[in-house]
């Protein structure tokens, strides 16, 4: 029986002291309950990296507390538990030192599953918040190409088991879909190379080491040729989540100008705590700010997200026979 692997990658501000890998259990169980195709099995792969930055963030907070002016600052708890973790995770990941540790964690937690995948298996990427930026950086960014840097071996090992990604683009498990939830990837697209600049440079040079566009384009092209179908990309956005942005109008502009390879759909999550007639009023009040954190984490508990993902997995295209030997 062929297997659909769901690879979950959480984002910033995710901390669990016990059963850290359990953050995806509720959503996975909802998805599993909605699958209608009994000819395929479902397997979860849960990546947890939320504890990697703990030491650095604690050191930074102790430095804040040492300031004689710290007690005069407003929203100290918010600064410590929200802003420091949100901004800290993002900033520290972009450093190669912490980024390499995250790459090591993903390799250790994912490869034991993906290395044993069989012909006809598919991989579905389910990312939350900064998790999409991290995973795409590891899969496609040029900043990991130097064999002498920390993280190079882990990144190469991850890339080698996914079809369409160098160093073995014609081998590995094929993607069945991509899911982004509360994703700021639209903002991080600002690091991508401007096409007019890229076309003016030599094909062997790269304007930005963080640019993911060229390799993402190659992955999509390889998948399209292998599957003869567009790759489903579902982007979930809670209207009260400040990290969530629409992607359906952005992604074709970045990597698929004629929408040949991607089937992108933005899905706006309906807040469940208010009736429809109050949503418009509530969204314009200070109370909406209080629920930012709840909105940003709501996807993990959403039946709406699970139902849409189950439908997407059921409808995902299976590899053509002509490419069955590419594994």
Q: How far apart are CA 103 and CA 139, in angstroms?
A: 10
pLDDT at position 196 is 43
pLDDT at position 133 is 86
pLDDT tens profile 259-291:
788 999 999 987 765 545 444 544 444 444 455
Q: How far apart are CA 321 and CA 34, in angstroms?
A: 28
pLDDT tens profile 78-127:
776 666 666 655 666 666 777 888 899 999 999 989 988 888 899 999 99
pLDDT at position 327 is 47
Hey, CA dihedral for 33, 37, 38, 40, is it positive or negative?
negative
Burial label for 78, CB within 10 Å (0-12, 13-18, 19+), is exposed
Percent helix, strand and coil across the chain, each to the nearest 5? 50, 15, 35
Longest CA pairwise span in the chain (Å) = 69
Q: Work out the mean pLDDT of the chain and round it to a whole number.
A: 79
pLDDT at position 79 is 72
For the chain, the domains span 2-326
Q: Is the pLDDT of residue 197 over 50?
A: no
In Å, how far are 27, 34, 41, 277, 295 from 303, measured between CA atoms? Answer: 8, 10, 20, 22, 14
pLDDT at position 281 is 44
Q: How confident is the model at residue 11 (pLDDT cuts 50, 70, 90)?
A: confident
Which of these CATH numbers, 3.40.50.1580, 3.40.605.10, 3.40.50.2300, 3.40.50.1820, describes 2-326? 3.40.50.1820
Output the six-digit token pair for 53: 């930055």
Q: How confident is the model at residue 28 (pLDDT cuts 50, 70, 90)?
A: very high
């Amino acid at each position: 029986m062929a297997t659909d692997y769901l690879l979950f990658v959480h984002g910033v501000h995710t901390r669990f002291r016990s059963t850290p890998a359990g953050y995806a259990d509720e959503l996975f169980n909802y998805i599993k309950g909605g699958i209608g195709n009994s000819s395929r099995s479902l397997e979860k792969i849960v990546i947890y990296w939320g504890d990697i930055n703990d030491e650095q963030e604690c050191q930074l907070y102790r430095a804040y507390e040492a300031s004689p002016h710290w007690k005069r600052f407003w929203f100290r708890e918010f600064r410590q538990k929200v802003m420091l973790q949100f901004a800290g995770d993002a900033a520290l990941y972009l450093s190669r030192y912490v980024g390499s540790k995250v790459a090591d964690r993903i390799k250790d937690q994912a490869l034991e599953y993906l290395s044993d995948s069989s012909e006809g298996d598919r991989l579905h990427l389910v990312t939350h918040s900064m998790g999409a930026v991290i995973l795409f950086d590891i899969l496609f960014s040029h900043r990991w190409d130097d064999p002498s840097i920390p993280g190079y071996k882990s990144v190469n090992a991850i890339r080698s088991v996914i079809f369409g990604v160098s160093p073995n683009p014609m081998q590995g498990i094929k993607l069945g879909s991509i899911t982004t939830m509360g994703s700021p990837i639209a903002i991080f697209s600002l690091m991508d190379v401007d096409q007019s600049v890229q076309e003016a440079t030599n094909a062997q040079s790269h304007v930005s080491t963080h640019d993911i566009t060229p390799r993402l384009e190659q992955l999509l092209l390889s998948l399209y040729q292998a599957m003869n179908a567009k790759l489903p990309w579902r982007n979930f956005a809670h209207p009260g989540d400040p990290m969530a942005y629409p992607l359906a109008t952005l992604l074709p502009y970045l990597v698929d100008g004629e929408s040949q390879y991607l089937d992108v759909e933005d899905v706006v999550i309906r807040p469940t705590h208010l009736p429809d007639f109050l949503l418009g009023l509530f969204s314009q009040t200070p109370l909406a700010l209080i629920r930012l954190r709840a909105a940003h984490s709501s996807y993990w508990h959403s039946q709406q997200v699970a139902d849409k993902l189950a439908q997407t997995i059921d409808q995902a295209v299976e590899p053509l026979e002509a490419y069955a030997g590419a594994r």
